[in-house]
Chain A
């Protein structure tokens, strides 16, 4: 029972590089979410998706791109990484009752 997985778990990159964080869930949940968590800000929603090929912006979408060609996958791309995007990134999926289940997170450092 894999649930929801994220890869890589740790990533160090340089300013200006493109980075893609992967998220995969095995529950066939319709909704998927990307959050970032920083000290002093708590969890902030970056993007979410209600179904394959349907995505929408959250609270802090600038500098990020998402896609969802398959229900089970929801990759997050940083097109040109900046130091301010150093954070812990969590992916989540949700059943119809709004309960969200989180992946283990990706710790991203942008140098």
Chain B
């Protein structure tokens, strides 16, 4: 079974600044996948970024990037040039490899963006 820890229940950032959200996880699998989802007040779950554990290169999607440390089982999300629309709850979610399609979600980090 996988466990996920998001140690920051809440974070705040000034508009245009950079913020990093932390996530650690525990898994016994060697091949797995990691996702960050955001949930704005509308409650829609939106994929932010994904990382394959077998890839050493950190994933990037425009202003969003990850710092993936496989040995430390750490998967942090960096948001650069923060925008008001980035305000949301952010969830870290690992998924097992092979035929294991279950996502395990952390408790989430509520990000506030201050103008």
A, B: real partners: no
Interface residues of A (CB under 8 A from B): none
